[in-house]
Chain A
């Protein structure tokens, strides 16, 4: 059996109109915030080229705007500006060098936008404000509809001139076409509103105009939303009908799919690990039954086997793997060559990809320090030096891998019997299990590249000194830090005490959260599952405030409700006392200054830790070159450890 023989369908070519994709793995459209001044950049070219080089069968770029009234976020590519063409050419040349076809997605976001950047009224079918942007749009008049259609055609022409092999019309999760298709946002009484045929009129006009602009030589695809997941919105039945209408026009070569509305139900578009893999398969599946065109399926396809199975099951003809290829640009090549186990699997943690997008920052990845920096040269190989890494959490593991990759000889000390550090701890909560992929990937990379891993070995000045290293990277992590109000009561513990099994709270538990992320919410879930009565009290205005950007907030709240977890906000812990039959926690409601008390059996603290920097202190001032990375510098989240570990290693 050939190496790729494990996959019956994944690596077979497929025709999309005039274009043949060499395999079924699509790097579907997604925002990157790499644009500058509305133009594509060198980083765009390097980013897509890395995925083409990594074996993707088809690349579809992020959206290009078709009209000046469309500018919902700062770093949108202004496809309507002829100045984009050289940048397009740079992208397509870079991708074509690796033989992959590349399509451009073109779009007008319609009412899912604001006038913040454009200083022009926002356009939509009807004056119904978007739930996120909350700006009343202008209901477009007939001459404006004509301008929209012309805009698509003009941008398609720019894309053709820029060397793209095809065009995809985003009509799915953030689009004026979606706005027209959806009964929730289209209340028009003219020939563009009312029946589904009327609501699809704009789409059909755009398809015709774009096909005319690009001619027969380029592929044309339409991306449809299969289920908006909003009240009165488009459902799968409508989507199937629209797909059939589109096919009947004869101008379109494939259908791409999506689920949800970007500004209302984003958590189902870029679903985190809280949502099961393959959750959106019913969309392509239903559409594929109704049309003969090739259909692309998307939605948390994490590994090649899962993708191949979807093809085998007839769910779809191509598989969109976005985050999987953000995390590992060589996803396809590794699968094809029989090295699927080497793939740096996406965690669906959403911290540095989706999370940064929502904050207008460039796209990155929690476990891939190269993502977003593809344009920068790869660290050159170095003169071989002896490097000791102390600590086998994400920072230490990444440091060890990156140091070995540039040619150093690396010994890694981990005082415990297992690697993974706090990632391993966090992933003990069942709903956070996929987080473990972070250090599982790193561990297998470290083993593969020949890092000398010494488990159960405490790194000390002496044990390090014995190896005579040229440099030491200290990644010894952090330890829980008892807040001053907690005194020394045994039943006041840290989340890590719970997750690491040192404490087993029971009865009623109050979780005091000052971090606003998964630490408190996942521990609360675990305790509720174990039968505890749980309340989270936070000093913030909401519980789990940072879960919003990773799109975990919705699922957390649904689960919290189901598990009876009480959420209390604006509360500052002031003190605690033991009354023999239980604890009494005093909290101050800081907006009003009112003090309240909670009687409970246990209190669990989710608060900032302190660095375990004893080794660093012992080593500093000596002759050795010593760097601190991750939590032992100051406790933060995993991405900081990974980036710092990588940086320290390549800068040695």
Chain B
């Protein structure tokens, strides 16, 4: 029975494991070329046991420049060579991702018209592309062939051709976007067939040809359905060595790699069906929020697929496959499917990273926490949230003696509270993992212990190094009220929910969720309340709820879920206060006021640092929300940096100019 860590022959080559690191946007390019940051990023995954690594999809033709840092194949030669060299020691099968975004690209960078099968506006950008001429189609086919030649010359094992959720080839496959009446419309696979044959002839005898293909556009009125996809896959299977089954299309691009609102492993059924159609002609890869090694193994064992793509799981833990091979898969840092740092198709060009593993994408600039120190420190960490636990985890792994003192009865801090309170199990995995790692490594974690400034001074006088990671506290009175309604901050609500299963129904309604941030918390709180309360509304100053969710891909879906759940959205509204049980809302632009009845307000606004221990002690090491309440990534990053500072011999803030401890 095949296992994740087993090798598998693909085409003329062999992949050392059955785990794929799929192509994804990273913004690590320099210009449009693969950079040294890419090399560091891919090398870590190869070293960790990745079987097939597909580099970030490169445009095969200058007509495609979908995002500013999108690789351009003709500029990728040196970078591909460097990736091949970096991964060679681990025999990883490295494929060049090659594609063309077509009408789902952007004209902002090229300042030239988009190319597409037909003049159909993209559903999200609304840009209207031009219908490709036959000559233009020919030039893109040649672009694919040229890119494949370059990939082989650069020492890569082959290429993966993109016909996935955001791809010109898929646009030709689909009745939504291909309205042509010429041979490329009458046979919607004609273009892809030409591309695959041209690429094959470039690849030579041993080059691997992989295809990523959307098998469900989730738009059955005109899009590719699983039934149609089965026919398409049947035709294309003879032309490829490896086939990755994905989903998504013009209306559902976010369905390709959704966050935890979509159940993990959602493509299982689709993949199984396509593998039956392929019938051994090519190896088939399961994709789609596969983050749990046991689930991945199960899919392999049942014969649902031949390989498993676990991209985000390997962003979270580059060493995943090695841990699986050693029977320690539970020690792998979990992907919590939050999409908060790894989904970077964003105008601001954020670098790919991970909330739990902030070194991902930053391999060349953030220090590696793994190591051993000769000089051993005794460390007191105050606070067992993600910042404190990460600090303790890293220090203990390097041989230091660490005690963590936590005021509450639980470890995991705000992360654990939010997860437990709002029933988001997956979010809790990271807190659980941090706590388990600390426990394995012998960190002493004491709960129910309050550390005072005197305690801190005493500890330091006894030679202990102290790190403060005391988290945040709510803003005292976030909303002006005459006392006619109850105001609860989101975390206190979560804490109540962890103590009592009826916390939501115990609230007096109507409940108004006040969400001036627009992140994941406000939406989650509203949805969670709506299950138990009859009347829930959410107030935002923005034109839609959850504006910050555009980066996780959940913005449109979140607004849809809220509306389906009957949650009233009070948009572009400032909550002025509550008077006699009526919340006063004011339009941000017109100044018009309105009122809405409410008995309870849940404040999901910003919090303040719990910095009591830090006042007047600017030399103290610190991390996370007690510096400034922000995100999990900040907490983990700063917890780790504090640990590495101590590992480097720092006992207080050696360089106070940059705030939290820098390595």
Whether A119 and B637, one on each chain, are in contact in the complex, defined by CB atoms closer than 8 angstroms, is yes
A359–B607 Cα distance when bound, in Å, is 29
Name the residue on B nearest A643 (C-beta): B111
Contact of A360 with B107 in the complex, beta carbons under 8 Å: no
- A124-167 near B? 1/0 per residue, CB < 8 Å: 00010101001111100101100100000000000000000000
Residue of B nearest to A516 (CB): B126
Complex formed: what's the CA distance from A121 to B624 in Å?
9
CB-based nearest B residue for A481: B119
Q: Which residues of B contact A610 (CB under 8 A)?
A: 119
Within 8 A of A (CB), among B604-628: 606-609, 618, 627-628
With both chains docked as a complex, state the minimum distance between the C-beta of B490 and any C-beta of chain A, in angstroms: 15
Interface hit among B185-193, B301-309, B559-567: B559-567
For B517, the chain A residues whose CB sits under 8 A away are 134
A636 to B106: give the CA distance in the assembly, Å: 13
A379 proximal to B (CB < 8 A): no
Q: Which of B532-585 contact A (CB under 8 A)?
A: 541, 543-544, 548, 556, 559-560, 563-564, 572
Contacts known (A136-B630, A144-B656, A558-B590); A359 close to B347, Cβ less than 8 A: yes
Contact present for B637 and A557 (CB under 8 Å): no
* Chain B, range 98-142, C-beta contacts under 8 Å to A: 107-109, 111-113, 119, 121, 126-131
B26 → chain A, closest Cβ, in Å?
15
Contact B347 A360 (CB under 8 A): yes
Known A-B contacts A116-B348, A135-B630, A561-B589; the reply to A634 vs B659 at CB < 8 A is no
Tell whether A608 pairs with B658 under 8 Å between CB atoms, given A136-B606, A558-B589: no
Interface of B is mostly: loop
B658 engages A120 (CB within 8 Å): yes
Contact, CB under 8 Å: A541 / B556: yes
Shortest CB-to-CB span from B459 to chain A, Å, is 22
State the Cβ distance, B85 to closest chain A Cβ, in Å: 25
Q: Which of B108, B519, B609, B662 contacts A356 (CB 8 A)?
A: B108
Question: A9 contacts the other chain (Cβ, under 8 Å)?
Answer: no
- Would you call A557 and B589 a contact (CB within 8 A)? yes
A640 to B592, CA, bound (A): 39
- The interface residues of chain B lying within 8 Å CB-to-CB of A409 are none
| With A361-B68, A633-B113, A643-B111: A122-B628 Cβ-Cβ less than 8 Å | yes
A361 to B627: give the CA distance in the assembly, Å: 32
Contact assessment for A127 and B608 in the assembled complex, using a CB-CB cutoff below 8 Å:
yes
User: In the complex, which residue of chain B has the Cβ closest to the Cβ of A542?
Assistant: B543
Cα distance, A361 to B110, chains bound together (Å): 11
Provide the residues of chain A in CB contact with B541, threshold 8 Å: 131
Q: Is the CB of A360 within 8 A of B68?
A: yes
Q: What 1/0 flags go to B647-663 for Cβ under 8 Å of A?
A: 00000000011111010
B128 cross-chain contacts in A, Cβ below 8 A: 608, 634-636
Complex formed: what's the CA distance from A122 to B629 in Å?
A: 11
Asked if B628 and A136 make an inter-chain contact with CB atoms under 8 angstroms apart, the answer reads yes
CA distance in complex: A127, B127 (Å): 40
B200 within 8 A of A: no
Residues of B contacting A608 with CB < 8 Å?
A: 119, 121, 128
With the chains together, A541 CA to B560 CA distance in Å? 10
In the bound assembly, the distance between CA atoms of A359 and B544 in angstroms comes to 19
Mask: chain A, 634-645; 1 = CB below 8 Å from B; 0 = not: 111000100110
Distance to closest chain A CB from B549 (angstroms) = 12
B5 within 8 A of A: no
Residues of A within 8 A of B609 (CB): 127, 136, 138
Contacts of A74 in B (CB 8 A): 348-349
Residue of A with least CB distance to B605:
A129
Distance between A142 CB and nearest chain B CB, rounded to angstroms: 8
Instruction: State whether B113 touches A134 (Cβ < 8 A).
Output: no
Say yes or no: is B62 at the interface (Cβ < 8 Å to chain A): no
Does B618 contact A541, Cβ atoms closer than 8 Å?
no
A514 contact from B107, B126, B659, B660, Cβ within 8 A: B126
Residues of A within 8 A of B563 (CB): 570, 591-592
Q: How far is the CB of A72 from chain B (nearest CB, A)?
A: 10
Q: How far is the CA of A385 from the CA of B348 in the complex (A)?
A: 44
CB distance from B108 to the nearest CB of A (A): 6
Report the contact-size class of chain A (Cβ under 8 Å from the partner).
Answer: 35 or more
Q: When the two chains form their complex, are residues A120 and B659 in contact, meaning their CB atoms are under 8 A apart?
A: yes
Q: How far is the CA of A503 from the CA of B245 in the complex (A)?
A: 51
Interface residues of A in 325-361 (CB under 8 A from B): 356, 359-361
B131, B362, B630: residue with the most chain A Cβ atoms closer than 10 Å: B630
Say yes or no: B657 contacts A138, CB within 8 Å. no
Q: In the bound complex, do residue A121 and residue B564 qualify as a contact, i.e. CB atoms below 8 Å apart? A: no
CB of B627 within 8 A of CB of A121, answer yes
**A515 to B559 alpha-carbon distance, docked (Å):** 21
> Once the chains bind, are A73 and B348 in contact (CB under 8 Å)?
yes
Cβ contacts A60-74/B at 8 Å (1 or 0 each): 000000001100011
**Does the CB pair A121–B659 fall under 8 Å?**
yes
Q: How many residues of B contact A (CB 8 A)?
A: 56
Q: How far is the CB of B31 from chain A (nearest CB, A)?
A: 9
Secondary structure of the A contact surface, majority rule: loop
Q: Which residues of chain B in 368-401 are interfacial with respect to chain A, using CB atoms and an 8 Å cutoff?
A: none
A115 within 8 Å of B by Cβ?
Answer: yes
**B350 CB-CB contact with A under 8 Å:** yes
Given the complex of chains A and B, what is the CA–CA distance between A644 and B112 in angstroms? 8
Residue of A nearest to B659 (CB): A121
**Is there a chain A Cβ closer than 8 Å to B518's Cβ?**
yes
Knowing A592-B564, A634-B128, the reply to whether A640 touches B630 (Cβ < 8 A) is no
**Does the CB pair B543–A129 fall under 8 Å?**
no
For the complex formed, measure the closest distance between the CB of B352 and the CB atoms of chain A, giving whole angstroms.
Answer: 12
| Contact of B247 with A by CB under 8 A | no
Q: Tell whether, in the assembled complex, residue A68 and residue B544 are in contact, meaning their CB atoms are under 8 Å apart.
A: no
Q: Are B544 and A634 in contact (CB under 8 A)?
A: no
Q: A558-B589, A608-B121 are in contact. Are A120 and B660 (CB under 8 A)?
A: yes
Task: State whether the Cβ of B37 lies closer than 8 Å to any Cβ in chain A.
Answer: no
Nearest-CB residue, chain A, relative to B574: A231
Chain B: CB-nearest residue to A141: B618
Distance between A450 CB and nearest chain B CB, rounded to angstroms: 28
User: A11 — which chain B residues lie within 8 A by C-beta?
Assistant: none
Across the interface, which residues of B come within 8 angstroms of A643, CB to CB? Answer: 111
Residue from B548, B587, B659 in contact with A134 in the complex, judged by beta carbons closer than 8 Å: B548
Return the chain B residue nearest A634 by Cβ.
Answer: B130
Q: Are B658 and A69 in contact (CB under 8 A)?
A: yes
Does A238 interact with chain B (Cβ within 8 Å)?
Answer: no
What A residues does B348 contact at CB under 8 A? 73-74, 116, 360
A119 vs B630: C-alpha distance when bound (angstroms): 11
Please, which residue of chain A has its CB at the minimum distance from the CB of B517?
A: A134
Which one of B543, B590, B606 contacts A561 once the chains associate, using CB atoms below 8 Å? B590
Residue B634 at the chain A interface, CB threshold 8 Å: yes
- The chain A residue sitting closest to B126, CB to CB, is A516
Task: Determine how close the nearest CB of chain A comes to the CB of B655; give it in whole angstroms.
Answer: 10
Across the interface, which residues of B come within 8 angstroms of A361, CB to CB?
68, 108-109, 347
- For residue A27, CB closer than 8 A to chain B, the reply is no
A374 touches B (CB below 8 Å): no
- Chain B residue contacts of A542, Cβ below 8 A: 543-544
**Chain B CB within 10 Å — which of A121, A546, A643 has the most?**
A121
Given contacts A73-B348, A134-B517, contact A127 B628 (CB under 8 A): yes
Please tell me if the beta carbons of A123 and B659 are within 8 angstroms of each other in the complex: yes
A143→B130 contact, CB < 8 A: no
Q: Is the pair A121, B126 in contact by a Cβ cutoff of 8 Å?
A: no
A413 to chain B, nearest CB (A): 23
Tell me if B126 and A541 are in contact (CB < 8 A). Answer: no
CB proximity to B under 8 Å, residues A576-622: 591-592, 608, 610-611
Enumerate 12 A-B pairs (CB-CB under 8 Å) in ascending A order.
A73-B348, A115-B630, A116-B350, A119-B362, A144-B657, A361-B68, A361-B108, A361-B109, A541-B559, A592-B560, A608-B121, A636-B107
Closest 3 A-B residue pairs measured CB to CB?
A: A591-B560, A634-B130, A561-B590
Extra pairs beyond A137-B628, A561-B592 (4, CB < 8 Å):
A115-B630, A143-B618, A359-B108, A361-B68
Interface positions of B (Cβ within 8 A of A): 68, 107-109, 111-113, 119, 121, 126-131, 347-350, 358, 362, 516-519, 541, 543-544, 548, 556, 559-560, 563-564, 572, 587, 589-590, 592, 606-609, 618, 627-630, 634, 637, 656-660, 662
